């Protein structure tokens, strides 16, 4: 049993408890938070090296055998998500300690608990514990969403809380139906028992599959459950919005795991998976309209997140190796670039004074060259222009589509990219070129403050340079997901 599997849960939990004990000692709290977050990175790299060979890591808490005990499961997909979370969290917390963490209480406690919930959701092999980790990350996100106070932030945060409380209730109902039908909530055991369920259970299983799709679609911001995202991300503080870039991917991960393992396309609820592709394309189209209509930079970036969710789920909705592989390549790209743009928007807003990130005439920026270069890099990456990783991800997606689906998918994906390009070009011109008054002198940021945003945006360049090995990894991950019998055998210890 590899005890490193539980380290991504223990480290942020212990860090959160230590930070609580250090009330009033902000410098030490920051050091603990940065140290714990940095510690997740080598752990994630180690776990990815373990999973990269195609092996499954199974950690049985209390050494109880599955399906009776709680298990943590590591495969290629889990390792990828843990590494992505570690990289993102480290750069976000480095930005936050430059002052944003002082805008409210217990930022670092909530930050560590958020990481605990996110990592737990990726690692758990049990559907009920997925609900538990969802609740941990949601409770932490409620506090983070309200961090910094303000009327608009409070209003968006309350809407987010209410929607997720409804989602949690539906999650429990869906889980309860599954348990009533199968008598288990272990994901591997569910895969076996759902496949062997008698015909009279088909209606209940279909109802459960639909409920879970609605719940995970809410987390991922899938149409029509996406309306909370632009308001919340557009008004949250910069490090919170950047961290939340991974939160929608938890919903995407849950959809991918559930509908390749428990409810595969040829399983008990085959029609449920058919809803995913059209809903994804509609999400992408609505997100593109929102991008064009945005009047603030952070709201524009939030709608770019909605566009990326539609693109990701379109690839997953193909349910073939090429589509899932393209989505898994695009997933870290869009997460890191979106987070980098949120941090960059914060730096821009600080130099525009009362105009903030609104698309109105304002004074010239104090550091236009640095900010302009980073904005150009982020815009090219987010719009999916060559040669950066966004272009590669979308190209892989377009290549994976079947002829029958090509017309709609090609049209909507390319139109979404065009809309993003137009909106980002307009934003850049209004912020950097159409200015009035004297050059801003306030808000000049020292070079280290640019580093987190620059590194996040530079990840697109890194993914472009290493596109071949990254693509090989995502192809192997997609093949592993579409052969769930190996996951089942590793967890249950028997071949189904």
| pLDDT tens per residue, range 142-191 | 989 888 767 888 888 888 899 989 999 999 999 999 999 988 889 999 98
Contacts of 75 (CB under 8 A, 6+ apart): 51, 56, 57, 477, 480, 487
The model's pTM is 0.93
How far, in Å, CA of 342 to CA of 243, rounded?
10
Please check whether residue 287 is in contact with residue 309, taking contact to mean a CB–CB distance below 8 angstroms: yes
Phi, psi of 124 (to 5 degrees): -65, 145
Question: Cβ(191)–Cβ(247) under 8 Å?
Answer: no
Mean pLDDT of 311-318: 91
Q: What is the biggest distance separating any 2 CA atoms in the chain, rounded to whole angstroms? A: 74
pLDDT tier at 6, thresholds 50, 70, 90 = very high
* Confidence at residue 438, expressed as pLDDT on a 0 to 100 scale: 65
Range of weakest confidence among 110-124, 152-166, 317-331:
152-166
Question: How far is residue 65's CA from residue 60's CA, in Å, rounded to a whole number?
Answer: 7
Q: What is the mean pLDDT of residues 136-145?
A: 91
Distance CA(8)–CA(44), nearest Å, equals: 8
| Cα(266)–Cα(264) distance, integer angstroms | 5
Burial group, residue 438, by CB count within 10 angstroms (0-12, 13-18, 19+): exposed
pLDDT higher than 70, residue 439: no
User: Closest by alpha carbon to 315, among 91, 101, 146, 477?
Assistant: 477
Question: What are the residue ranges spanned by the domains of the chain?
Answer: 275-479
Q: Above 70 in pLDDT, residue 441?
A: no
Of the spans 12-16, 53-57, 187-191, 224-228, which averages the highest pLDDT? 12-16
Contacts of 165 (CB under 8 A, 6+ apart): none
Structure-model confidence comparison of residues 434 and 170, the more confident one:
170
């Amino acid at each position: 049993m590899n005890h490193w599997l539980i380290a991504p849960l223990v480290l942020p939990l212990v860090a959160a408890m230590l930070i609580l004990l250090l009330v009033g000692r902000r410098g030490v709290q920051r050091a603990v938070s940065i140290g714990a977050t940095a510690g997740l990175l080598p752990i994630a790299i180690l776990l990815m090296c373990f999973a990269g060979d195609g092996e499954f890591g199974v950690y049985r808490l209390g050494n109880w055998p599955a399906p009776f005990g709680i298990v943590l499961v590591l495969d290629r997909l889990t390792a990828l998500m843990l590494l992505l979370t570690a990289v993102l969290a480290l750069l976000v917390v480095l930005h936050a300690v430059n002052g944003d963490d002082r805008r409210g209480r217990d930022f670092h406690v909530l930050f560590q608990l958020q990481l605990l919930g996110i990592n737990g959701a990726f690692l758990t092999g049990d559907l009920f514990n997925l609900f538990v980790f969802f609740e941990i990350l949601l409770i932490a996100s409620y506090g983070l969403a309200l961090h910094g106070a303000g009327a608009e932030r409070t209003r968006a945060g309350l809407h987010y809380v209410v929607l997720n409380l409804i989602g949690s209730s539906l999650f429990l109902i869906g889980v309860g139906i599954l348990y009533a039908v199968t008598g288990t909530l272990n994901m591997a055991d569910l895969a076996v028992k759902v496949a062997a369920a008698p015909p009279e259970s088909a209606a209940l299983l279909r109802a459960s599959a639909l409920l879970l799709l609605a719940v995970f679609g809410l987390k991922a911001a899938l149409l029509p459950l996406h309306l909370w995202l632009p308001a919340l991300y557009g008004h949250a503080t910069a490090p919170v919005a950047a961290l939340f870039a991974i939160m929608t991917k938890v919903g995407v991960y849950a959809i991918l795991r559930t509908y390749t393992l428990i409810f595969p396309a040829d399983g008990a609820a085959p029609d449920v998976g058919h809803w995913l592709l059209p809903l994804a394309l509609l999400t992408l189209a609505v997100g593109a309209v929102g991008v064009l209509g945005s009047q603030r930079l952070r709201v524009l970036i939030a709608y770019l997140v909605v566009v990326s969710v539609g693109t990701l789920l379109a690839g997953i909705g193909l349910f073939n190796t090429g589509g899932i592989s393209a989505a898994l390549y695009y997933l870290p790209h869009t997460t890191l670039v979106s987070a980098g743009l949120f941090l960059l928007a914060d730096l821009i807003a600080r130099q525009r004074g009362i105009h903030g990130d609104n698309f109105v005439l304002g004074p010239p920026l104090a550091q236009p060259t640095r900010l302009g270069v980073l904005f150009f890099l982020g815009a090219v990456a987010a719009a999916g222009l060559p040669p950066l990783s966004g272009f590669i991800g979308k190209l892989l997606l377009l290549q994976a589509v079947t002829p029958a689906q090509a017309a709609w998918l090609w049209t909507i994906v390319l139109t979404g990219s065009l809309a993003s390009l137009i909106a980002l070009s307009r934003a850049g011109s209004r912020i950097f070129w159409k200015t009035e008054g004297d050059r801003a002198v306030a808000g000049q940021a020292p070079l280290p403050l640019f580093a987190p945003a620059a590194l996040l945006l530079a990840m697109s360049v890194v993914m472009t340079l290493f596109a071949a090995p990254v693509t090989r990894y995502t192809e192997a991950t997609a093949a592993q997901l579409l052969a769930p019998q190996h996951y089942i055998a590793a967890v249950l210890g028997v071949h189904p």
